[in-house]
Structure 1
Amino acid sequence: MLAGPTAVGKGTVASYVRQHHPEVWLSVSVTTRPPRPGEVEGQHYFFVDDREFDRLEREGQLLEWAVVHGRARYGTPRTPVEQVLDEGRPALLEIDLQGARQVREAMPEARFVFLEPPSWEELVQRLVGRGTEDEEERAARLGTARAELAARGEFDHSIVNDDVARAAEELVSWMVDPTPEKD
């Protein structure tokens, strides 16, 4: 599981893993938020309305789900994750802190990696620089980010995303190492 605050680069690191490590399966989350420019249905997310999300949650089809930044809901479809793990393949879930806590309860054997920014200032620059949120949304995301950064100690391993390729390679290396030590 890969988690970390908004704008830390979880999606960018996951994209690098997708491109350079086809042996690692990446989960595709469902969300109730609208697509950002360039996002592709089924590749970046499955975009659903509230009614469909309610159905998936009610029927137990989500491994985890959460309301993120007080706005949209995100969740991880359960069946594809279970199938990949049953095949013995490494699986990567890109999730938020709330989701990581739910997965920890449901799958205590899972391994949890926290992706952190080189600094708070860099995190703010990344969020502002991507230009996908208005001022109100940025403020909400930065408030959430402070709480998420404080939860770093809940994870098995932490990686500073100061270089996407290096961070992604460290992540994959740590995923496939059968005996990681807790930092």
Structure 2
Amino acid sequence: MPLSFPPYQILVATTMDELSACDAVRGSRFLESDGYLTEFDLKDRCATTHLLCLQGKIPVATLRIRFLFGTLIAWERLSVVKDANPRIIFYIIKAARQYCEAKGMSKVLGSVSNPKLKSFWQRQGATFTGELAKEIGGTMYEPMELALSPLPCPAENLLEQMDEDSFLQRTS
């Protein structure tokens, strides 16, 4: 179910057309400066979810969510098309937070190269780890972490109720 932030809607990319739209947004923003092998690093279809932000039918932003292990995830490749409203970044991050917390995730790892984005992430609650910055494609990226508040698993309550119902049916 897409999240709506009029005039935008954010959805989990599930079709090849939607995944291609995510690639197109990233390519339009970073392909010329970063090159293909840096921007498209072969992790796009491996334990990942892509969020796609649409303005009407036009793709305007994307974010890759990569599942690492346990409740640890990475938010990567945040991209907004050049002429789009910069507020879109708030909407896609809010959607990513809601999605990941609903999935039970507790911590986001990421990295930032742009000083403006560093202060954006700090306002979102991220902390910078103090680890050495990593060079990727000639750009230095500083590691960060963001704590999430995972929602309790609704399945546990449902399983308890199902067990109780099953027991009651067998004993009556």
* TM-score bin (small chain): 0.3 to 0.5
Q: In terms of Rg, which structure is larger?
A: 2
Structure (1 or 2) with the greater strand fraction: 2
* TM-score, scaled to structure 1: 0.32
* TM-score, scaled to structure 2: 0.34
Structure (1 or 2) with the greater helix fraction: 1
